[in-house]
Amino acid sequence: MLELHHVTKSYAGRRRVLDDLSYTLAAGEYVAVMGDSGVGKSTLLNLIAGLDTPDAGDIVIDGVAMATLNDDAATLLRRVRVGFVFQAFHVLPHLTLLQNVALPLLLNGLDSARAEAMLNAVGLRGRGQDFPRQLSGGELQRVAIARALVHRPALVLADEPTGNLDPETAHSVLMLLRDEIKNNGASAIIVTHSVAAAATADRVLMLTDDGLYPA
Amino acid sequence: MNARNALLTRWLLFGEWRAYPLRALAAVAAIALGVGLGFAIHLINAAALDEFSAAVKSLSGQADLEVRGAQPDFDQRYYPQLAQHQGVALASPVLELDAVVPGRQQPLKILGIDVFRAAAIAPDFIGIPAQGRAFDTLADDAIFLSPAAMSWLQVHQGDLLRLRSGVHIVTLRVAGGLVHARAGQRIAVMDIAAAQWRFHRVGRLSRIDLKLTPGVNRAQFKAALQRELQGRLLVTQTRERTERSADMSRAYRVNLNVLALVALFTGAFLVFSTQALSVMRRRSQFALLRVMGLTRAQLMRQVLLEGAAFGVLGSALGIAGGYAVAAAALHFFGGDLGGGYFAGINPVVHFTPMAAAGLFVLGVVVALLGCAAPAMEAAHTLPAPALKSGNEAGALTQLANPWPALAALVLGALLTQMPPVEGLPVFGYIAVALLLIGTVALMPRLSGNFFRLLGLRHARSAVVTLVLARLGNAPNQAVIALGGVLTSFSLMVAMAIMVASFRVSVDDWLSHLLAADVYVRSAQGGDTGALDTQAQMTIANAPGIARVDFVRQTQLTLAPDRPDVMLIARDIDVRDPGKILPIIGAGIVPQHGLPVWVSEPMADLYGYRLGQQIVLPINGHMQQAVVAGVWRDYGRQFGAIQMRLADYRALTGDMDVNDAGLWLQPGVTPAREIATLQHLPFGALLEFAEPGEIRAVSLKIFDRSFAVTYLLEVVAIIIGLFGVAATFSAQTLARVREFGMLRHIGVTRRQILGILAAEGGLLTAAGIAVGFALGLVISLILVFVVNPQSFHWRMQLHLPWGMLLSVAALLLASAIVTALIAGRYALSGNAIRAVSEDW
């Protein structure tokens, strides 16, 4: 599903963040990536999503090498095959919950009926016309999960999805995320500092200065 | 764009508008105001011009050509010559008079016609007599009035009408109506011989209308006849007269339209600030959309579409509002917008689809230009960093690049040296626009450097450090806040300096011209109320008068395609003309030839230079004259020529005068002398004025003619202030987290409000300072480029400090108050919730 071949990335005037990183993520696999702050976890997600480009190496999603794609092509690939969940929710404040969840469907030219089903699935039945300001943090992250999965992406990328939530809420959100990823048959990479969060994944990897290793 | 993408676009658009309705409304209103003002001014001018042209055309009927004199009338001996000319099917003589109506400010236009001739050319002007009185059309006491004239004069068929002829009253019988006259057209018709006799114009004609034999080439005939007449008479077509009417008011109309565009231009800055702030606020939202698969092009289209929506809505409202304003203005005030070109006509507004479409497109384009930079910013922001908060200060960094701004300034300066295009200061206007754009674009760098420098020297307290650090280190936001206010304030400064300079110059000019103790005028409007020699002698010999300066004014047509110039004859000392005329520079005393003194516009329009030999068509002769001097004249935009009264009388035999300036003997007061003159046999017909009164009336007319200008400037300032309010409020509310943090580390609520007031005040003060400097530069362009090129008027520079400082203080206070109000909302969590961060 996802192949990383000798990926290297450094930032101008700073040390190398990722150095000759290689990994293959199988279809339907759900892995957690842990590591110290600044080791490059978020950078890794940005590179996979095509939001940033590696200095060296290849990233291949479903047989398509990201390096061969220009910005528009990478955007289209991301639109169809990738779903994102962020630590800070990033739910658009001026759209209703239903509209927020339906966004990927509209971008992909799909019928938006599934948005309501996804809202129901994440426990927000009947809240479709509410606005984000009416929701708690846990509820907002549920909306973000529904939005990440509504268009049935092959790959879900989650960057500290429970970093802003209390432990109890975090647990329920993580279980929901896992269930929905599995129900949708997607692959997923979750980047986290939390051992509890990592424990919900099929496999836990440690990202260090030397590479990506099983924990 | 497929249906689902369109739905997404609508969601994003309406979501933003729902969240910030006032900001969206302000941007829409700004565009609507600019478009509406432009459309209203266009409609009013077009309606007035159409009505004026139609009235001119109706006076000429279906004539192929008109033959006119260079002066208002000429010898009728040309009539039989033209009537028998080969190629002429019919010649119809006309005497056109603006008769003075006692007690009325405006004259009554009378056409003296040969009814048998005119019936074939202008049948609409054949009067309809009463039943059984068919010969009234030839009667010497009969006059036929249009319905509008009857209504204006409050007379009916059979009533008597009193009109002035010299210092006497002529009584005519209203014999019938002109049923086919244009609605609202005040006009009268009488037999030509009766008109010549009654108004002392025996043997004189105003024009001869010609109908050509079928098959005769009109252009060739016209050229041949013009050659044959050797310049003694002018051969014209009706079209040329209407074009001349349009030319007369063109510069004034164009300048008004440019002022309306200033409001639209300021509105573009409001759209810019609205969209720039919106894009900055939504950086993370846009980044999210990019992460989810929205392409750069789609995002850019979304932001541009939001701006276009402002433009479409604003333009539509502006077109509708402009039409309503024009209809109301024409209904209540007539078609004259203060310039005095269309007084006395009754125009009706007509919707003009082409102009409406043009202004609609202009409104949309201006709105799109306003959001172009924010759209580029949105599309080129990298999504990954933008998802993290706290990097908004880096937004709009492309605005800090000084080179395009400096290029605009240099180009603007160069364009001020370009000549006019078709009599319009096109390059002058472009130069003003470039200077504005260049200065606004330089604002981030200017204000940033200034406040950073200030911060290095005065960073003693935490509050001052916070204020100066923000102003110095987030300069891109300054341009957003100040774009509108800088534009409107600098233009207001420029206009205020130009108008004040003009007013002071006019006042000085009037003081020089009005040297006599009392002025006498035989009639306010019209050309049938002149003073004959007997009346002149009576006035000159009246007790208490030391000296009289009689003045004869008459129109002179130098070229058929140009507006008439005024020929003024009076006693001028050829060795010292400066005693009576405001002479510019040196003069000469011609050894040979007729000395004439030409006005400043005349020198510009006709290229006359000191000492130049010129030819003037006076009384049917081509008269050689020498330019003995150039004098300043703010009264006649199309030129005036002064000559000695004795010379004029010798050339024309015309002994009448229109006005007289009286110098009184020592000890005689103006009031006593006026009382004495009112007891003369014709004293009741005279009008008297002291120099102070004429000066006051002239300046009142001056102020009225600039009233529309002031109105448009006020609109631009209001739009600019709207921009300041919107920007400060938005920026302050966007900093809620910053203020929360400051409160946590011990900054008091009062201190935060102080920070906001100081930021708002300092930023506006910087805008005012730069706006003043820019306004001064623009005023130099207006005074020394635009005005001379448009109106041929030059003036001395005068700065109205009191007015400028008042507006600056008002602007500064408004900005500080706005910042404080926005700050109070920002510091009140409940208030923020309640208004959804709107203002």
Digit-coded pLDDT (tens) for B392-407: 555 566 666 788 889 9
Residue (of B50, B35, B52) closest to B350 by Cα position: B50
Residue B536 near chain A (CB below 8 Å): no
What whole-number percentage of chain B has pLDDT above 70?
Answer: 85
Contact A107 B285 (CB under 8 A): no
Residue B632 near chain A (CB below 8 Å): no
Residue B572 has pLDDT above 50, yes or no: yes
Strand residues in B691-793 grouped as ranges (E): none
Contact A95 B11 (CB under 8 A): yes
Dist CA B423 CA B36 (whole Å) = 27
Query: Using a CB cutoff of 8 Å and minimum separation of 24, what contacts does B55-58 make?
Result: B55/B182, B55/B185, B55/B345, B56/B238, B56/B241, B56/B242, B56/B245, B57/B238, B57/B242, B58/B122, B58/B124, B58/B181, B58/B182, B58/B185
Contact B4 A52 (CB under 8 A): no
pLDDT at B839: 31
What does the pLDDT average to over A188-197? 91
Residue B567 has pLDDT above 90, yes or no: yes
pLDDT grade for B19, boundaries at 50, 70 and 90: confident
Return the DSSP state at B429.
H
ipTM over 0.90: no
Question: How far does B499 lie from chain A, in Å, by closest CA?
Answer: 48
Digit-coded pLDDT (tens) for B190-200: 999 999 999 98
SS (H, E, C) B316-338: HHHHHHHHHHHHHHHHHHCCCCC
pLDDT grade for B216, boundaries at 50, 70 and 90: confident
Residue B416 has pLDDT above 70, yes or no: yes
Domain boundaries A2-214, CATH class: alpha beta
Question: How far does B385 lie from chain A, in Å, by closest CA?
Answer: 10
Contacts of B86 (CB under 8 A, 6+ apart): none
Contact B292 A51 (CB under 8 A): no
Contact B7 A106 (CB under 8 A): yes
pLDDT at B312: 94
Cβ proximity of B603 and B623 under 8 Å? no
Return the DSSP state at B64.
S
What does the pLDDT average to over B551-555? 89
Question: How far does B833 lie from chain A, in Å, by closest CA?
Answer: 9
Contact A76 B284 (CB under 8 A): no
- Please list every residue in chain A whose beta carbon sits closer than 8 Å to the beta carbon of residue B11: 95, 99, 106
Residue B835 has pLDDT above 50, yes or no: no
| Among chain A residues, CA nearest to B287 | A90
Partner residues linked to A9 by β-bridges? A18
Contact A106 B384 (CB under 8 A): no
More confident residue, B48 or B545: B545
Digit-coded pLDDT (tens) for A76-99: 888 899 998 887 778 877 778 988
For chain B, what is the mean pLDDT? 82
Residue A15 has pLDDT above 80, yes or no: no
In a 10 Å sphere around its CB, with 0-12 CB exposed, 13-18 middle and 19+ buried, how is residue A193 labelled? middle
Question: How far does B41 lie from chain A, in Å, by closest CA?
Answer: 40
Digit-coded pLDDT (tens) for B354-382: 989 999 998 899 888 888 888 888 888 88
Nearest to A94 among B18, B284, B383 (CB): B18
Distance of CA B814 to the CA centre of its chain: 30
User: How many other CB atoms sit within 10 Å of the CB of residue B413?
Assistant: 15
Residue B627 has pLDDT above 90, yes or no: yes
| Among chain A residues, CA nearest to B12 | A95
pLDDT grade for B818, boundaries at 50, 70 and 90: confident
pLDDT grade for B599, boundaries at 50, 70 and 90: very high
Token digits of residue B557:
């047509």
Residue (of B685, B743, B723) closest to B100 by Cα position: B685
Distances in whole angstroms, Cα of residue B261 to Cα of each of B38, B302, B321, B693 = 7, 27, 16, 37
- Please list every residue in chain B whose beta carbon sits closer than 8 Å to the beta carbon of residue A134: none
Contact A86 B387 (CB under 8 A): yes
Cβ proximity of B686 and B521 under 8 Å? yes
pLDDT at A214: 86
Dist CA A87 CA A192 (whole Å) = 10
| Among chain B residues, CA nearest to A95 | B15
Digit-coded pLDDT (tens) for B37-76: 888 888 887 877 777 666 666 666 667 888 988 888 889 9
Contact A94 B291 (CB under 8 A): no
pLDDT at A32: 94
Contact B8 A104 (CB under 8 A): no
- Please list every residue in chain A whose beta carbon sits closer than 8 Å to the beta carbon of residue B387: 86, 88, 90
Dist CA B688 CA B520 (whole Å) = 5
Q: What's the CA angle centered on A130, arms A129 and A135, to 5 degrees? A: 155
| Among chain B residues, CA nearest to A103 | B8
Dist CA B441 CA B432 (whole Å) = 14
Q: Which residue has the tokens 């003194």?
A: B597
pLDDT at B395: 57
Token digits of residue B584:
């510019």
φ and ψ of B132, to 5 deg: 80, 5
What does the pLDDT average to over B470-482? 68
Residue B14 has pLDDT above 80, yes or no: yes
- Please list every residue in chain B whose beta carbon sits closer than 8 Å to the beta carbon of residue A99: 11, 15
What is the maximum alpha-carbon separation in chain A?
51
Dist CA A97 CA A107 (whole Å) = 16
| Among chain A residues, CA nearest to B18 | A94
Residue B675 near chain A (CB below 8 Å): no
Residue B5 near chain A (CB below 8 Å): yes
pLDDT grade for B831, boundaries at 50, 70 and 90: very low
What whole-number percentage of chain A has pLDDT above 70?
Answer: 98
What does the pLDDT average to over A66-70? 88
Contacts of B57 (CB under 8 A, 6+ apart): B238, B242
Dist CA B531 CA B522 (whole Å) = 6
Dist CA B706 CA B338 (whole Å) = 7
Dist CA A71 CA B439 (whole Å) = 35
Nearest to B2 among A42, A99, A109 (CB): A109
Residue B335 has pLDDT above 70, yes or no: no
Dist CA B404 CA B441 (whole Å) = 8
More confident residue, B63 or B415: B415
Return the SS3 of B93.
strand
Contact A78 B297 (CB under 8 A): no
Residue B289 near chain A (CB below 8 Å): yes
For chain A, what is the mean pLDDT? 87
- Which residues 704-733 in chain B show a CB within 8 A of chain A? none
What does the pLDDT average to over B76-81? 91
- Please list every residue in chain B whose beta carbon sits closer than 8 Å to the beta carbon of residue A49: 291
Q: Which residue has the tokens 């206010």?
A: B485
Residue B150 has pLDDT above 70, yes or no: yes
Dist CA B704 CA B689 (whole Å) = 21
Q: Which of A48, A51, A52, A130 to mutate to test the interface with B (most CBs of B within 10 A)?
A: A51
Digit-coded pLDDT (tens) for A126-155: 999 898 888 888 888 889 889 998 998 999
The domain limits of chain A are 2-214
Residue B19 near chain A (CB below 8 Å): yes
Token digits of residue B74:
């000429």
Return the DSSP state at B785.
I
Residue B293 near chain A (CB below 8 Å): yes
pLDDT at B829: 52
Q: Do β-strands A187-191 and A30-34 pair in parallel, antiparallel, or remain unpaired?
A: parallel
Token digits of residue B14:
């309406």
What does the pLDDT average to over A195-210? 90
- Please list every residue in chain B whose beta carbon sits closer than 8 Å to the beta carbon of residue A86: 288, 387
What does the pLDDT average to over B174-184? 84
Residue B385 near chain A (CB below 8 Å): no
Contact A79 B292 (CB under 8 A): yes
Residue B459 has pLDDT above 80, yes or no: no
User: What's the pTM value of the predicted model, to 2 decimals?
Assistant: 0.70
Contact B291 A49 (CB under 8 A): yes
| Among chain B residues, CA nearest to A104 | B292
Cα(first)–Cα(last) distance of chain B, in Å? 34
Residue B7 near chain A (CB below 8 Å): yes
B834: left (phi over 0), alpha (psi -120 to 50) or beta: alpha
Dist CA B211 CA B351 (whole Å) = 35
What does the pLDDT average to over B70-86? 89
Residue B785 has pLDDT above 70, yes or no: yes
- Please list every residue in chain B whose beta carbon sits closer than 8 Å to the beta carbon of residue A72: 295-297
Residue A120 has pLDDT above 60, yes or no: yes
Q: Number of residue pairs across A and B with CB atoms under 8 Å? A: 79
Q: Which of A17, A77, A90 to mutate to test the interface with B (most CBs of B within 10 A)?
A: A90
pLDDT at B712: 67
- Please list every residue in chain B whose beta carbon sits closer than 8 Å to the beta carbon of residue A158: none
Q: At what angle do helices A114-121 and A137-149 cross, to 10 degrees?
A: 140
Range name among B368-382, B384-398, B476-490 with the lowest pLDDT average: B384-398
Q: Which of A47, A95, A97 to mutate to test the interface with B (most CBs of B within 10 A)?
A: A95
What does the pLDDT average to over B219-223? 89
Range name among B409-413, B458-462, B621-625 with the lowest pLDDT average: B458-462
Range name among A110-114, B387-391, B639-643, B722-726 with the lowest pLDDT average: B387-391
The HSE-up count of residue B650 (CA atoms within 13 Å, CB side) is 8
Contact B293 A95 (CB under 8 A): no
pLDDT at B741: 61
Token digits of residue B651:
């050339």
Dist CA A26 CA A34 (whole Å) = 19
Dist CA B417 CA B457 (whole Å) = 42
| Among chain B residues, CA nearest to A94 | B15
Q: Which of A70, A71, A91, A106 to mutate to test the interface with B (most CBs of B within 10 A)?
A: A106
- Please list every residue in chain B whose beta carbon sits closer than 8 Å to the beta carbon of residue A112: 4, 7
- Please list every residue in chain A whose beta carbon sits closer than 8 Å to the beta carbon of residue B294: 75, 79, 107
Contact B4 A71 (CB under 8 A): no
Contact B19 A103 (CB under 8 A): no
Residue B587 has pLDDT above 80, yes or no: yes
